[in-house]
């Protein structure tokens, strides 16, 4: 008997392909193991069916007694009892075969027209000024979208374009809502959404009128219809397809917390860059300050050098005369021990003494003239002499000389030195691009 039943099973499974069978569910039972057992019948016959847990878990609807369904199954034999049965691999509500055929036909038609092309897709704005939602006011999807938008960007305005999302008139209402949003131009991102459901429940979003309304909409459209595994024509036509209504809200709205974090990070980078530049400028300013010398310091050094030269100039003739006198004394001593031609030698000595005196006087006069010339140059460099001719010296309150008007700004305190005294003043204006002092 076992061999017979095994042979019959192998014959059934090997000779018949996987079949689609339609009928009405009868005696449906789901056991704790997850396996489903039922009979599929029509008005003339019935057959036992089994759907194991791994296949039953993929169903997106709950089979129930009396429901008309279509199953994809393998014809087999349960050897233990010799019962002929169908092992079910997939199940769908009856009539979905025509819907799938219509779905594929419309999908191919719109694809051929280029409505699915990536080139015509519009990018979503990074910071939308307002977001529109096309859905039913009673839909759970609306609550999910509003909750997500409120969490991500609380201040973002949201406008609802209400419509039915299921039923005979739903497709026309959805298309009218999309067209109304395009006409009003109140938003710059549009979410078309509804929650999950069967293929029949979502069929409004597979209608051609809805697809063409989305394609013609100048506003970027995010399609968030059904669950992650659901696909509709609206998903293919829309600029962006989201797996769920919640995901659609996340794609359409910026995340306030993320942008605040990015802004804070950019602020920190900017602060560090500013501090580095400030430190560089401070170091450069210190270097320039060390190189900058006050004119008074320069005059003081020149005055000291002039005094030293004057002392050396005054002392030079005396030292030279002393050397000549010492040399003359040596000559006299040598002369006393020389030949007795004293008159001639004395005469020559007197001439040398005269020349020496003249040379000393000339050298002294030359040094005195040079000293007078240096005194005149020093007097010309004296700021007080310049000030006595009507000029003035502008300084900061700390005594630093201001050389250029660009160093001053309106409201700066300054000190103006004249020949007789100094006065305090302030910068009050800058006519024709130049600073004016009063």
Least confident residue range of 205-209, 210-214, 405-409: 405-409
**Token pair of 55 as six digits:** 């296949």
Find all residues with CB under 8 Å of 338, minimum gap 6, and list them: 345
**Separation between Cα atoms, residue 330 and residue 198, nearest integer Å:** 139
> Per the domain annotation, does 260 fall within a domain?
no
Whether the pLDDT of residue 345 is over 80: the answer is no
Banded model confidence at residue 435, pLDDT cuts 50, 70, 90? very low
> Contact, 107 vs 210, CB < 8 A?
no
**Separation between Cα atoms, residue 333 and residue 331, nearest integer Å:** 5
Do residues 122 and 79 both lie within one domain?
no
Find all residues with CB under 8 Å of 68, minimum gap 6, and list them: 22, 23, 24, 25, 93, 94, 95
Do residues 365 and 247 both lie within one domain?
no
User: With the CA atoms of 163, 169, 171 and 176 taken in that order, what torsion angle do they form, in degrees rounded to the nearest 10?
Assistant: -50
44-51, long-range: CB within 8 Å, 24+ apart, which pairs?
47/21, 47/23, 47/84, 47/85, 47/86, 48/78, 48/83, 48/84, 48/85, 48/86, 49/73, 49/85, 49/86, 49/87, 49/88, 50/85, 50/86, 50/87, 50/88, 51/87, 51/88, 51/91
The CA-based angle 390-394-398, given to 5 degrees, is 145
> Per the domain annotation, does 77 fall within a domain?
yes
Do residues 163 and 247 both lie within one domain?
yes
Whether the pLDDT of residue 329 is over 80: the answer is yes
At residue 357, the pLDDT reads 84
Q: Which residue spans within 31-82 are E strands per DSSP?
A: 36-41, 46-51, 68-78
Enumerate the β-bridge partners of residue 201.
none
If DSSP codes are grouped into helix, strand and coil, which group holds residue 379?
Answer: helix
What are the helix and strand counts (H, E) for the chain? 12, 14
Whether the pLDDT of residue 295 is over 80: the answer is no
Banded model confidence at residue 104, pLDDT cuts 50, 70, 90? confident
Final residue of a structural domain among 254, 286, 314: 254
At residue 177, the pLDDT reads 95
Do residues 122 and 68 both lie within one domain?
no
Do residues 158 and 192 both lie within one domain?
yes
Least confident residue range of 55-59, 71-75, 264-268, 293-297: 293-297
At residue 408, the pLDDT reads 85
Number of folded domains that form the chain: 4
257-261, long-range: CB within 8 Å, 24+ apart, which pairs?
257/152
- The pLDDT tens digits of the residues spanning 399-425 come to 788 888 888 888 888 888 887 788 888
Ramachandran class of 330: left when φ > 0, alpha when ψ lies in -120 to 50, beta otherwise:
alpha
We report the CATH number of the domain holding residue 64 as: 2.40.50.140
At residue 147, the pLDDT reads 93
> Contact, 158 vs 131, CB < 8 A?
yes
> Per the domain annotation, does 288 fall within a domain?
no
Do residues 46 and 144 both lie within one domain?
no
Banded model confidence at residue 144, pLDDT cuts 50, 70, 90? very high
At residue 432, the pLDDT reads 55
Q: What is the average pLDDT score of the chain?
A: 85
Total Cβ atoms within 10 A of residue 244:
21
We report the CATH number of the domain holding residue 177 as: 3.40.50.9100
At residue 98, the pLDDT reads 66
Q: Helices marked H in 217-341 — which ranges? A: 233-237, 245-252, 256-291, 295-336
Give the whole-number percent of the chain exceeding pLDDT 70: 93
Do residues 311 and 374 both lie within one domain?
yes
Whether the pLDDT of residue 437 is over 50: the answer is no
Final residue of a structural domain among 63, 94, 125: 94
**Separation between Cα atoms, residue 434 and residue 115, nearest integer Å:** 65
Look-up: residue for tokens 């600073």?
435
At residue 436, the pLDDT reads 46
At residue 215, the pLDDT reads 93
Give the whole-number percent of the chain exceeding pLDDT 90: 34
Q: For the chain, what's the residue count?
A: 438
**Token pair of 89 as six digits:** 């691999």
User: With the CA atoms of 274, 279, 285 and 287 taken in that order, what torsion angle do they form, in degrees rounded to the nearest 10?
Assistant: -150
At residue 356, the pLDDT reads 85
If DSSP codes are grouped into helix, strand and coil, which group holds residue 434?
Answer: coil
> Per the domain annotation, does 236 fall within a domain?
yes
> Per the domain annotation, does 100 fall within a domain?
no
Banded model confidence at residue 18, pLDDT cuts 50, 70, 90? confident
> Per the domain annotation, does 405 fall within a domain?
yes
Do residues 120 and 235 both lie within one domain?
yes
> Per the domain annotation, does 271 fall within a domain?
no
Do residues 303 and 238 both lie within one domain?
no
Do residues 122 and 240 both lie within one domain?
yes
Whether the pLDDT of residue 265 is over 60: the answer is yes
Do residues 215 and 137 both lie within one domain?
yes
Q: Taking residues 71-93, what's their average pLDDT? A: 89
If DSSP codes are grouped into helix, strand and coil, which group holds residue 367?
Answer: helix
At residue 338, the pLDDT reads 61
> What range defines the domain where residue 323 resides?
295-381
Whether the pLDDT of residue 42 is over 70: the answer is yes
Q: Taking residues 216-233, what's their average pLDDT? A: 89
At residue 247, the pLDDT reads 93
Do residues 374 and 405 both lie within one domain?
no
> Contact, 205 vs 174, CB < 8 A?
yes
Least confident residue range of 52-56, 60-64, 245-249: 60-64
Q: Taking residues 316-330, what's their average pLDDT? A: 79
> Per the domain annotation, does 276 fall within a domain?
no
Q: Is the dihedral of CA 86, 89, 92, 97 positive or negative?
A: negative
> Contact, 368 vs 362, CB < 8 A?
no
- The pLDDT tens digits of the residues spanning 162-183 come to 999 988 899 999 999 999 999 9
Final residue of a structural domain among 237, 254, 271: 254
User: With the CA atoms of 178, 180, 181 and 185 taken in that order, what torsion angle do they form, in degrees rounded to the nearest 10?
Assistant: 150
**Token pair of 380 as six digits:** 């010309």
Whether the pLDDT of residue 189 is over 90: the answer is yes
**Which one is predicted more confidently, 436 or 373?**
373
Whether the pLDDT of residue 246 is over 80: the answer is yes
């Amino acid at each position: 008997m076992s061999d017979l039943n095994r042979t019959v099973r192998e014959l059934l499974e090997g000779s018949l392909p996987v079949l689609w069978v339609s009928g009405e569910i009868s005696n449906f039972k789901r056991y704790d193991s997850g396996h489903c057992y039922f009979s599929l019948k029509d008005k003339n016959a019935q057959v036992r069916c089994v759907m194991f847990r791994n296949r039953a878990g993929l169903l997106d609807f709950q089979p129930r007694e009396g429901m008309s369904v279509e199953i994809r199954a393998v014809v087999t034999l349960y050897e233990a009892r010799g019962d002929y049965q169908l092992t079910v691999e997939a199940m769908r509500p009856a009539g979905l075969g025509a819907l799938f055929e219509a779905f594929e036909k419309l999908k191919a038609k719109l694809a051929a027209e280029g409505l699915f092309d990536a080139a015509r897709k519009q990018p979503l704005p990074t910071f939308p000024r307002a977001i529109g939602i096309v859905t039913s006011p009673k839909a759970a999807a609306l609550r999910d979208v509003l909750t997500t938008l409120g969490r991500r960007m609380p201040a973002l305005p949201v406008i609802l374009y209400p419509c039915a999302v299921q039923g005979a008139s739903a497709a026309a209402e959805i298309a009218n809502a999309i067209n109304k949003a395009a006409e009003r131009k109140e938003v710059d991102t549009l979410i078309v959404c509804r929650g999950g459901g069967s293929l029949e429940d979502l069929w409004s979003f597979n209608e051609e009128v809805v697809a063409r309304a989305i394609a013609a909409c100048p506003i970027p459209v995010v399609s968030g219809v059904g669950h992650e595994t659901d696909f509709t024509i609206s998903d293919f036509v829309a600029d962006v397809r989201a797996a769920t209504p919640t995901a659609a809200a996340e794609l359409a709205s910026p995340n306030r917390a993320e942008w605040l974090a990015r802004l804070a990070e950019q602020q920190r980078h900017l602060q560090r860059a500013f501090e580095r530049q400030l430190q560089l400028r401070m170091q450069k300013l210190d270097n320039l300050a060390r190189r900058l010398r006050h004119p008074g310091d320069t005059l003081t050094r020149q005055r000291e050098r002039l005094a030293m030269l004057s002392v050396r100039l005054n002392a030079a003739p005396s030292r030279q005369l002393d050397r000549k006198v010492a040399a003359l004394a040596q000559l006299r001593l040598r002369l006393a021990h020389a030949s007795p031609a004293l008159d001639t030698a004395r005469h020559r000595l007197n001439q040398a003494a005269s020349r020496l005196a003249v040379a000393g006087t000339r050298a002294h006069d030359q040094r005195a003239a040079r000293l007078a010339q240096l005194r005149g140059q020093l007097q010309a460099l004296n700021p007080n002499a310049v000030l006595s001719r009507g000029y003035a010296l502008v300084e900061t309150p700390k005594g630093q000389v201001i050389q250029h008007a660009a160093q001053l700004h309106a409201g700066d305190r300054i000190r103006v030195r004249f020949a007789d005294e100094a006065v305090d003043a302030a910068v009050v204006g800058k006519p024709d691009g130049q600073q004016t002092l009063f």
